Structure 1
Amino acid sequence: MSVGSPTLVRASRAPVYEVDIYSDEVIRDPYPHYRRIRALGAAVWLPLNGLWAIGRHADVRAVLADHVNFRSGHGVSGNSAANKIAPGNLLASDPPLHDHLRRIVAAPLSPRSLAMVKERIEETADALVDRLVQRSSFDGMADLAQYLPVSIVSELVGMPEHGRENMLRWASAVFDMLGGDNERAAAAMPIIMEMRAYTANEATRDKVRPGGWVAMLYDAADQGVIRPEQVQVLMRDYLGPSLDTTIFATGHLMYLLGQNPDQWQMLRDDPTLIPNAINEAVRLESPIRGFTRYAAADRHVGDTLIPSGDRALILYASANRDERRWERPDTFDVKRILTDHVGFGHGIHSCAGMQLARLEIRSIVTAMTKQVKSIQVGEPTLAMNNVLRGYERLPMTFLAA
């Protein structure tokens, strides 16, 4: 069944929620809608989107782990146009192709590879925080959260300058396109075509940085590990996931620490809690709301049958606040024991770059514990995006320790 087609018969005995999950209203304040979806059932039909919504923690993890029956190779978007052009990249592929591509794309993101850039990232973070402490105020997004991804990670990717300048704009469009069939997705399409033209025509072997991640893709093609035409496809996997998710997670953590000075003091007193604080911020304010999966066979989720050919929207952001799993799920607690949140996904499609994201955020917060006594935050401006949740702007001030 295609997204958006009538499902009166199939949904007649299933819970139904009449809301457009990609509407401005839901994007601005999603959590009451997620609670309603969780309360209605394990799988809830969204007739306005032509999707099943899965929002409970246990069910989300089970579906993400079942990549045989809930597939990514047909695309992971909430609209058919994006799903037609997406298959073949890391996000929209199934084994064995997915496993092969992940080995290539994830090579520079391994702990061993990241150890080679760890010192540089930490030194850059120290210098960044030192500069921000000297300022009366700053934008926590443009001046802090974006700095390491744009200054270091984009260099590691190794795109020519024009590509580096446009990476944030392209990444935002990619995630808009991965949402529903709406104006945001339509507006994203020409930007994505621009990105694709760039990867095909400008990010050529002679123009990318030698030794960079994109150059490694060309090397893999030269060695016959991947086909030459796959270089451009995999190149695009570095454009979005390496930036926006880390940037938004950083912004969320900054705002939460500013809003909860007692939690910030705990980190200053015990910096070993920093990795926990990062996980807690990602749990509480998941940068990625959710992707869809294609049902390759009739499958029950709870008591509800999802028919073969339907799509299920896997709501990571809902699962991470499921009251069935978490005590005080809407509370930020840096001492919370976190072993199974799904902010970085779960299963074979878990985020390949999550260790890089953690390294960048940990480096910033570690520098802050040494130099910042208190964090003041103003009212953030939400970025309107179909899939991402994060801030466009975040007024901040650091008071020196």
Structure 2
Amino acid sequence: MTAVVETELDLFSDEALADPYPLYRRIRDAAPAVRLDRYGVWALGRYEDVRAALNDWQTFTSAEGVALNPASRATTGGLIIATDPPYHDVLRGVLTEKLSPRALRVLRGGLEEQARVLVDAVVDRGEFDAVADLARAFPVQVVLELIGLPAQLADRALAWADAAFNAGGPDVPRTREAMPLLEDQFAYLAKMHKEDLVEGSFGWVIFDAADRGVIARDSVVPLMSAYVTAGLDTTINAISAGVRYFAEHPDQWRMLREDRSLIPSAFNEIVRMESPLQWFSRVTTRDVDVDGVVIPAGQRVLMLYGSANRDERKWGPDADAFDIRRDAMDHIAFGSGVHGCAGQGLARMEGAAVFSALADRVASFSVGEPRRRLNNRIRGLAELPTTVFVG
């Protein structure tokens, strides 16, 4: 058995959130599992260990919540991500048909047209903010329409999503400041009725499942919240990170333009390099041996997606290099196991639609100084001044 490695590393300082990768490397190199004394939790940073834990929900339970503070866990109880089988499977099953490959194929043409219209508008301007004008504008339009919420809710929904992920952090000022917005989201959704939603929309289907007794009535708001929140950030941050990476690696952009079949692997590489969701937590149900380090039962464990997706043990010595030819399909930016992101097919389709539309018009990108968005769980940009050159 390996001795427990304890550290005072703070993954939630402004400096760490701006660039967590050196700290992740220190955690990976220190031990398979490390005790973060500052917050009283454990952390898994190596790819194989994180993936194995995510796939073992019986040992690493989500049923005690996935946030690091009790207030957020109390507010978000009943979310899919905070529920284990068998009820987890019931909740997830409500929208299984809506998110199936067959259903998404029906949406593809409309998504591609929406992406083309938006991309044409920003490219014609020549200069724009790749975050506000592109990365946020597209998915919020798509998600609100699918769920059945009014388009006027866009700014509020974006604020809700940011707050929902911030609220899951430890008890620090950034977390406490997010709680009122998280509560505002739940209060807004609690006032909704089935009749307020377009028939057949995701939201309507959720209410209908409650009407038919498939799910409990008190599961409606958490389920709505899950899709409003999770449906935005992955796509927003992947699109903006992709624009930045392609600006910094023009050879990769030329390669993609010449071979559009690389778009899916490019999307995988973007979310591997900049995992939009950096971590979730679980609680051990028993003493568990992680490569010789024993984590006792009842301990909260951080699954560091962002670290696992840069682990040299998995990705080789060039793990920090951006290469769209890399086979990154088995990244864990969308999680793994029963809690793997239910909407990842939609996120991939949205990303492909935007990058395909950009490839039709843009010969190269130039970006100014990016402004980082600091969030306890989400890694993304707040602003990315962008100039495009058509050709």
Cα distance in 1, alignment partners of residues 138 and 155 from structure 2: 14
Q: Who is 2:270 aligned against?
A: 281
The correspondence of residues 239-318 of structure 1 with structure 2, limited to 5 A, is 239-318=228-307
Gaps of 5+ in 1: 1-11
Q: Who is 2:110 aligned against?
A: 120
Answer yes or no: is the 8 Å Cα contact 1:21–1:49 preserved in 2: no
Cα distance in 2, alignment partners of residues 72 and 45 from structure 1: 19
The reply to whether residue 32 of structure 1 matches residue 22 of structure 2 is: yes
User: When the two structures are superposed, what TM-score results if normalisation uses the length of structure 1?
Assistant: 0.94
The correspondence of residues 204-223 of structure 1 with structure 2, limited to 5 A, is 204-223=193-212
Deviation at 1:160, TM superposition (A): 3.9
Answer yes or no: is the 8 Å Cα contact 1:383–1:392 preserved in 2: yes
Moved more, 301-310 or 272-281: 301-310
Answer yes or no: is the 8 Å Cα contact 1:105–1:234 preserved in 2: no
Distance 1:129 1:163, change over 3 A: closer
Cα distance in 2, alignment partners of residues 136 and 148 from structure 1: 18
Distance 1:329 1:302, change over 3 A: same
AA paired with 2:350?
E
Answer yes or no: is the 8 Å Cα contact 1:65–1:346 preserved in 2: yes
| Deviations, residues 90-148 of structure 1 (Å, cap 9, x unaligned) | 01000101111111134322112212221011011112221222113100011111122
Deviation at 1:272, TM superposition (A): 0.2
Cα distance in 1, alignment partners of residues 163 and 72 from structure 2: 11
AA paired with 1:32?
P
The alignment of Structure 1 onto Structure 2 pairs a total of residues equal to: 389
Cα distance in 2, alignment partners of residues 19 and 238 from structure 1: 33
User: When the two structures are superposed, what TM-score results if normalisation uses the length of structure 2?
Assistant: 0.97
Cα distance in 1, alignment partners of residues 155 and 324 from structure 2: 35
Deviation at 1:342, TM superposition (A): 0.6
Cα distance in 2, alignment partners of residues 205 and 343 from structure 1: 33
Deviation at 1:162, TM superposition (A): 5.5
Answer yes or no: is the 8 Å Cα contact 1:78–1:291 preserved in 2: no
Distance 1:211 1:289, change over 3 A: same
The correspondence of residues 126-165 of structure 1 with structure 2, limited to 5 A, is 126-160=116-150, 163-165=153-155
Cα distance in 1, alignment partners of residues 95 and 64 from structure 2: 20
Deviation at 1:341, TM superposition (A): 0.9
Deviation at 1:209, TM superposition (A): 2.3
Answer yes or no: is the 8 Å Cα contact 1:373–1:398 preserved in 2: yes
Gaps of 5+ in 2: none
Match of 1:383 among 373, 378, 383: 373
Moved more, 191-200 or 99-108: 99-108
Q: Who is 2:62 aligned against?
A: 72
Answer yes or no: is the 8 Å Cα contact 2:7–2:35 preserved in 1: yes
Cα distance in 2, alignment partners of residues 82 and 150 from structure 1: 24
Match of 1:198 among 184, 188, 192: 188
Answer yes or no: is the 8 Å Cα contact 2:127–2:387 preserved in 1: yes
Q: Who is 2:90 aligned against?
A: 100
The reply to whether residue 44 of structure 1 matches residue 26 of structure 2 is: no
Match of 1:88 among 73, 78, 93: 78
| Deviations, residues 154-180 of structure 1 (Å, cap 9, x unaligned) | 111112456444110001110001122
Cα distance in 2, alignment partners of residues 256 and 350 from structure 1: 26
Match of 2:157 among 159, 167, 170: 167
Cα distance in 2, alignment partners of residues 214 and 137 from structure 1: 36
| Deviations, residues 320-379 of structure 1 (Å, cap 9, x unaligned) | 000111120000000001232111111111111111011011011111221111111112
* CA-atom RMSD in angstroms: 1.3
Cα distance in 2, alignment partners of residues 229 and 78 from structure 1: 23
Aligned sequence identity (%)? 44
